[in-house]
Chain A
Amino acid sequence: MNQTSDFDIDYVANLARLALTQAEKERFARQLGEILHYVEKLRQVDVAGVEPTAHASPVFNVWQADEPRPGLAVDAALRNAPAARDHQIVVPRVVE
C-alpha cells in the first residue's frame, strides 16, 4: 500500500470536481491522512489468491426483454431542473 504522504488533495479534489476552500483542503488532508493510516492495517491480511467481492448478492447477469413501456413524462423529468426551457435543460454555453 502506498504511503499516505502521497495524498495530493488538489489533484483529488479536481478529479472529484469539488471546489474546496484552503481551510477544507488543510483539514481534509490531515483527517484523511489519519484515516488512510488506519486502513493501512489491511496490509496485514494475506489476500494471495483471494477473489474480490463486488457485492454480496447471489445475482449475476440480469437480463430483461427489450420491450417499450411507459417512462417518466417530460414534465416530471424536468420538474427538478435548475433551469429549463422548451423541454430542455438550460446550461451556460460550453462550446464557442
Chain B
Amino acid sequence: MTMAGPAIFESAATLSTLLATRKISAVELLREFTARVDAVDGRVRAFNSRDDAGALRLAAESDARRAAGRELGPLDGLPVAFKDVIAVDGQPLTCSSRMLANFVSPYDATVTTKLRAAGAIPWGRLNLDEFAMGSSTENSAFAPTANPWDLRCVPGGSSGGSAAAVAAGETPWALGSDTGGSIRQPAAFCGIVGLKPTYGLVSRYGLAAFASSLDQIGSLARTVEDAAVLLGAIAGHDERDSTSVRAEVPDYRAELGRRKGPWRLGVPKEFFGAGLDPEIEAAVRAAMEFYRRAGCEIREVALPLASEYAIAVYYLIATAEASSNLARYDGIRYGHRAAGATDAIDIYARSRAEGFGEEVKRRIILGTHVLSSGYYDAYYLRAQKVRTLIRAEFQNVFAACDALLSPTTPTPAFPLGAKVADPLAMYLNDIYTIGVNLAGLPAISVPCGFTSAGLPIGLQIIGRPFAEADLLAVASAYEQAHDWHRRHPQLP
C-alpha cells in the first residue's frame, strides 16, 4: 500500500500496516511525530514533556524485532502518548500541577506495563486540567492547551492535551482518564474518537486518583477501530486494583466485523432540551436517521433523574472523594514542600496552599465540607442514594435498548477564558456525560459533523456494562458510512 498523506494523520491501524510491510520503520515514524510536535506544539500546547531518547531506543528495538522476523502485534513500534496522570517508570508525572512539577514516576502503571508488553512506545505526556478537575484544560498549572480546529477555543477537558494531540497529528493515539466526561467531551471538541470503558474493565493501578468510584482510563484515537485496539491492549483484571473485574476481554477489533446489528437504540428525550446547541441537535438527529435507515429501531426513552440530578450528585461525590484522595499531598513524602515551615500542620497547610491551583482548592473545600460532621448525611449520603436511583434508571432503559444515542456536549468548543470565572457554568458542560460515570457504564464519542464555524460535533453512544464490543460495533457502523473522521485541522 502507499501512504495517502503524511503519516501523522493516518490511523494507527494504517501505520501498523505500513510498519508490517516495511514502508516505514518505527524509528522513522517516531521522527515524523517528534518533528510534528516541534512544528505545532508551541501553538497547541498539548505536551507537558517528551522522552524522545527513550522512545527512539524502544523504536529501534521494535525495528530489530521486526528485522529478526518475529510475529508482531498491531501496537508494536507505535508511539503512545499519555495523559500526565498515568505512571511511566522514569518519566515525569505532574498531573499538570505545581504540586507534582518535579515528580518522576518510580514504577509503571498497569496499562503502561501492558502497552510495553505489546511493543507500544510510551513517549510523551499530555496536558490536562490540574488533577483532571475541569472541562477546558485551562486549569493546567503550566499553560492552557488550544483546540487545533480553532486556536482561540478550548480543547475541552480534562484530557484536553490528549484530544488536541491526536487531532493535531502529534500522536496516533493517546490514553486519557474519564471521571465525568473527561475523555468524551474533549474528543467531541477536537473531532476525534474517545472511549470511556466500563468501570472496572481497565486497571487504575498507577493512575493518580481523583474520584475513585468514577475514574476510568480509556483511549483517544482517530478511528473506532484504533480505540478498540488500544482498549484491547489495556483491558483486563489486575490484582493491584481491587475494583478491577474478572471480565472476559474479547478481540474487540475482530468483533467489529462480526456484529452488524440491527440494534435497538434509545434516545433519552431529556438530552435534547433547553441549552442544546441547534447545530449539534441537527447533527445528532441526522445520525439517528442514519441508524434508522440502516434498520435499527430508534425509540425515545426517559432518564428524568439522570438528566436532572446527575451533575449535583457528581459534584458531591467526586469532590468528597477528591478531598480524601488528595489528602496524600502533604509535602512530606513527595510533591511540593513549602520552605520554612515550623511544624507538621504548617507544612501540610502551606505546601498544599502553594502546590494546588484554584479549582483543586475549591473542590477540596467543597468535598471536605460535604463529608464533615453534621453534613455527611445531608450531602454525601443523599447523593449516594440518588446515585442508586440513577443507576437503576439506566438499567431499566437498557432492558429494551442495546445502546443509547445522545449529543456528547450541549455546545461546541467555547473560547478560552469564557467560563473560567463561573465554576457552575463550567460544570454544566458535562450534563450528558456525567450520568454514565455514576452508573459505571461504557460510552464513546465519535465525530458526527461540524458547526457552521467549523468546530467538531460529537455523537455519544452509551452501552451496557462490559458490552464494549457491541458499543464499538454501533459506533463503527456510523463511522464507516461517514467521513467526518477523515477531516483534519489546518494549523496555521
Chain A positions within 8 Å of B, measured between CB atoms, are 1-2, 7, 9, 11-21, 24, 28, 31-32, 34-36, 38-39, 41-43, 45, 47, 50-59, 62, 64, 72, 76-77, 79-83, 89, 91-92, 94
Contacts and interface: CB of A to CB of B under 8 A. Distances in A.
A45 B305 contact: yes
Interface residues of B, number: 75
Q: Which 4 A-B pairs have the closest CB atoms?
A: A56-B440, A52-B384, A80-B334, A55-B213
B341 A55 contact: no
A31 B423 contact: yes
Given A17-B352, A18-B361, A39 B379 contact: yes
Contact of B364 (A14, A18, A50): A18
B332 interface: yes
A6 B106 CA distance: 43
Interface string B412-445: 0000000000011001000000000011110000
What is the interface of chain B mostly: helix, strand, loop, or mixed? helix
Interface string B352-365: 11001010011011
B353 A18 contact: yes
B315 A39 contact: yes
Interface of B: 102-104, 106-107, 199-200, 212-213, 239, 242-245, 305, 308-309, 311-313, 315-316, 323, 327, 330-337, 341-345, 347-350, 352-353, 356, 358, 361-362, 364-366, 368-369, 372, 374-375, 378-379, 381-389, 391, 423-424, 427, 438-441, 465
Contact of A52 (B349, B350, B385): B385
11 contacts: A32-B362, A35-B315, A39-B316, A43-B382, A55-B199, A55-B243, A56-B199, A57-B245, A64-B239, A80-B333, A91-B332
B385 A47 contact: yes
A56 B200 CA distance: 8
B242 to A, nearest CB: 4
B239 A16 contact: no
Contacts of B343: 92, 94
Given A16-B364, A76-B107, A82 B312 contact: no
B372 A82 contact: no
Contacts of B366: 32, 35-36
A9 B365 contact: yes
A80 B486 CA distance: 43
B200 A57 contact: yes
B368 A16 contact: yes
A78 to B, nearest CB: 9
Contacts of A53: 384-385, 387-388, 391, 438
Given A18-B353, A89-B333, A12 B315 contact: no
Nearest to B383: A42
Contact of A82 (B107, B243, B334): B334
Contacts of A31: 362, 423-424
B332 A94 contact: no
Contact of A89 (B245, B309, B332, B440): B332
B247 to A, nearest CB: 9
Contacts of B334: 80-82
Contacts of B335: 80, 82
Given A1-B382, A52-B384, A82-B335, 4 more contacts: A17-B345, A56-B200, A81-B334, A89-B333
